[in-house]
Amino acid sequence: MNVPTATIRGEDSGAAASGLAMALTLASLLAPPLSAASVSVGLSPVRSQLVQTFPFGSGGPDPGDGFGMTLASGDFNGDGIADLASGVPFDAVDFGSGTVAGAGSVYVHLGAPGAGLASASGWFRLSQASGANTPAEEEQFGFALAAGDFDNDGFDDLAVGVPRDVQGGVAKGGVQVFFGSADPAVFGPGVVLGIGGSANDYIGLELTAGHFDDDNYEDLAVGIPGRDAVAGAVFVMYGGSGGLGPGGQFLQQSNPDIEDNGEPDDRFGWALAAHDWNGDGRDDLAVGVPLENGYGAVQLFFGGENGLDLVHDILWTQNSIAGTSEPGDFFGSALTTGDFDGDGYGDLVIGSYGEDFGLAEEITDAGTVAAVFGDPAGFDLARTVAWGQGGFIGLDVAEPNDLFGYSMTTGDFDHDGFDDLIVSHPGEAWSQTGDGAVTALLGGANPFQQSRSRLFAPGHEGVPGSTSQPGTFGAALAAGDFDGDHYADLVIGVPSYGADPKGAEIVLYGGLAADGFDTGNATYWSAVTP
């Protein structure tokens, strides 16, 4: 794989047709047929939805707006049911007497009991034009999203990344926070966070929420991968009664307390994830550095009484945990967390969508993921597992440009008490290049077994969508209980969907009997009676 250049994803409107520009050089090989039978994974096409229409006067996104590129779930109205936020970072926004191209917006859809995201009500749209800031062209509001209760009022708040936000005439990037309430349709103007910065920092290109200290407020980690010639940085802001405070912690590899050195093009802060890996009651932070030394790394910081511990950080490469570090692997380009084995300690999954396979590395950019399991010392590296597509139900081989591990998310889709893993491969070819697919891998006492996995692809086995044109199915993922039945549901972003393409989202619901019986394919019927 060729190592990407210093261009940040979404850096300009040309590249922006999007955050996939760095990765999606897609292959034309067809996937093999489905293989041996598997148990239900909780998710199925039963009740699934294809989201393409919206109750807005302007009719929703236009071609190239990037609908389905970024997703986040949270309970913004405090009703106990998850809601969905969808970034449309290249959306044109009406402002004053004109339209601001590429300013970006966010669509919020409230979940509803029973109906989930099928309800026609509960939609509203956010943008900088709502009053928090003056929108400018190509600012890309909505390029990253994160939900967390930053003021501890019982309502999740929404943080929105604006990586090309113009400050003082310079595109530095920024973040806005919209506070949840019983009526989030009246979110009001977002609060602009004072992070400062320089030109091309790309502040807010990535976001994650976590509880890194000993108070009762969630905190926000902000990726700044363009800082210092794309060496990268992360700024952590701490929650309080008034929301996220003005101060915080600045993380850079050039900090003398932090392992390694910041080098140009490392992209420290490209990916972020938080969970309590050592069971001390505080969340810890993983930072993706996908071009560290050209092949990638992940840096870990543990939570503490007053915030993250910057002295006892850990730096991993593929050589450290599983596999071999090679140029262009993009190790750490995607991260997700969950308790997949049910031991009470968080686990970390690391994506490397640029991994090559084959005796001569001829299967380029097939992709792989690695799972590292938490324990009281932090992590038990002896239990680390790494895998590509080979051996999982629905795909028996890795193929060039599948990009397995490009995006990931976590949820308990079968409601058995173990978190389950969803891994996307948006370059997967079915009818043609770039159709995309996602693979569900169940958690358990011995998680991620072949016999407990299932592949979902557009237009196959009852999944909505079409393979008449490439859609990059799985470019973004989000999980949450949108219908209130206690089973996690999955939203799959398809930003290139449609002949236009305007983009789309596909919703798959979890449930007790979600075993695919309605598809007539015994491959996915449950192996045991519920």
CATH code of the domain containing 440: 2.130.10.130
Q: How many domains does the chain have?
A: 1
Q: What angle do CA 477, 480, 484 make, to 5 degrees?
A: 150
CA of 114: how far to CAs of 47, 72, 118, 349, 485, in Å? 11, 20, 9, 31, 7
CB within 8 Å of 123: residues ≥ 6 apart: 54, 55, 56, 107, 108, 109, 110
Residue 22 covered by a domain: no
The pLDDT of residue 376 is: 95
Residue 516 covered by a domain: yes
CA of 149: how far to CAs of 101, 184, 218, 237, 301, in Å? 32, 13, 6, 13, 21
- What does the pLDDT look like over 34-52, one tens digit per residue? 333 345 899 999 899 999 8
DSSP string, 192-251: EP-----TT--BTSEEEEE--SSSSS-EEEEEETTHHHHTBEEEEE-EETTEE-S--EEE
- What does the pLDDT look like over 221-257, one tens digit per residue? 999 999 999 999 999 999 999 999 888 999 999 999 9
- What does the pLDDT look like over 283-318, one tens digit per residue? 999 999 999 999 999 999 999 999 999 999 999 999
Q: Name the range with the highest mean pLDDT among 113-122, 380-389, 484-493.
A: 484-493
Q: Is the pLDDT of residue 107 over 80?
A: yes
CB within 8 Å of 524: residues ≥ 6 apart: 37, 38, 40, 44, 454, 461, 515, 516
Q: What percent of the chain has pLDDT over 70?
A: 85
Q: For the chain, what is the radius of gyration of the CA atoms? A: 21
95-109, 200-214, 477-491: lowest mean pLDDT where? 95-109
Average pLDDT, whole number, for the chain?
Answer: 86
Higher pLDDT, 349 or 23: 349
Q: What percent of the chain has pLDDT over 90?
A: 66
Query: How would residue 451 be classed by pLDDT, with cut points 50, 70 and 90?
Result: confident
The pLDDT of residue 430 is: 77
Q: Is the pLDDT of residue 411 over 90?
A: yes
Residue 44 covered by a domain: yes
Domain membership of residue 493 as a residue range: 34-524
Query: How would residue 471 be classed by pLDDT, with cut points 50, 70 and 90?
Result: confident
Residue 457 covered by a domain: yes
CA of 142: how far to CAs of 88, 125, 132, 139, 160, in Å? 6, 11, 14, 9, 5
Average pLDDT (348-363) is: 88
